[in-house]
Amino acid sequence: MEAFASEGWHCVAPDLRGFGGSSVPNAKEAYAIKEIVDDMVELDAHLGGKAAVWIGHDWGSVVVGSLVAHYPKISRGVVLISVPYLPNGWALSNLIPLVDRNLYPADKYPDGQWDYWRFYLTHFDQAVSDMDADVSATLADIYKKGVPASTGKLSPSAVVTAHGGRYGAAHRAPATDPDYTLWLQADFDTLVTAFKRTGFRPCDSYYLNDEANIAYAKSALNNGNLGLPVLFINDEYEPFSNINLSKVGDPMRKVCSNLTVIDLPAGHWVPLERKHELAESVRSWVKLKGLK
């Protein structure tokens, strides 16, 4: 935000549904990707309806990828961070065929690194209550730097069901100190305050709409093919969505005719771990593609 606003861009970072100061609907259906995309379309119209460069990380990447597939006229380009674009919809059933079965044999790890997603589908209330038990500890445990040693190794996300949940029998995150090299303390405290207001049920509900998300993907223009400039930032130390370690990026490569991929040495939280490198990567790509 600061890097690009200082260069004359009008930068907006909306709280998605269920996050920060936004609304917190009760129904799981409220967190289907179509609903979030519609929110972004309304926001763009409210801001003047100009074509934007959309940037998203994690589920935000899913949202902006779906947005440009359905509404290319309000998009100049799109930046996807950590999570690649799936033209057939970001859903567990579409991810399982892309699992590296050398690392995750089907008989032992049927869902591969996406087992944590299966746990949301089968033990949702427990998953939420375990995370809500100590909001500060949960966030400190989630927001950790990636390490090179994790590359090509079994992801902890593959054994959530076997362990009886993210935190096993403890049913709460272990006492964990926040990493203030990722966040200023004041920023982390703000994050904790926001999640204490919403709890984790809203953001966890994003995992509960596979059928709706697949159906929405089928309604995209041009069969979900993207012709506009796409930048994918790949996190090299990420054990479950690194496109160099599995087939998870193959569908994106097939349908994005103007794709640029940049690898950064970071874990999943590359926007926090590699702030300056990320900004420079986006800046260089914007210049290369003539998007400003």
CATH label of the domain that carries residue 82? 3.40.50.1820
pLDDT at 121: 98
- pLDDT exceeds cutoff 90 at 207: yes
Residue 245: pLDDT over 90:
no
Count: domains in the chain: 1
- DSSP for the chain? -HHHHTTT-----PPPTTSTTS---SSGGGGSHHHHHHHHHHHHHHTT---EEEEEETHHHHHHHHHHHH-GGGEEEEEEESS---TT-S-HHHHGGGS-TTTS-TTT-TTGGGHHHHHHHHSHHHHHHHHHTTHHHHHHHHS----GGGTTS--GGGGTTTTTSTTGGG-SPPP----TTTS-HHHHHHHHHHHHHH-SHHHHGGGG-HHHHHHHHHTSGGGG-B-S-EEEEEETT-TTT-TTTSGGGHHHHHHBTTEEEEEES--TTHHHHTHHHHHHHHHHHHHHHT--
pLDDT in tens, 127-145: 999 999 999 999 999 999 9
Q: How many CA atoms lie within 13 A of 167 on its CB side?
A: 20
Query: For 73-124, how does the pLDDT look when each residue is reduced to its tens digit (9 = 90+)?
Result: 999 999 999 999 999 999 999 999 999 999 999 999 999 999 999 999 999 9
Mean pLDDT of all residues in 168-181: 97
Examine the pLDDT at 125 and tell me if it is beyond 90. Answer: yes
Q: Which residue has the tokens 């990380």?
A: 57
Average pLDDT over residues 154-180: 97
For residue range 104-118, what is the model confidence (pLDDT) as tens digits?
Answer: 999 999 999 999 999
Residue numbers of the domain that contains 9: 2-289
When pLDDT is averaged across residues 216-245 and rounded to a whole number, the result is 95
**Mean pLDDT over all residues of the chain?**
97
Can you tell me the distance from the alpha carbon of 178 to that of 198, in angstroms, rounded to the nearest whole number? Answer: 20
The whole-number pLDDT of residue 240 equals 83
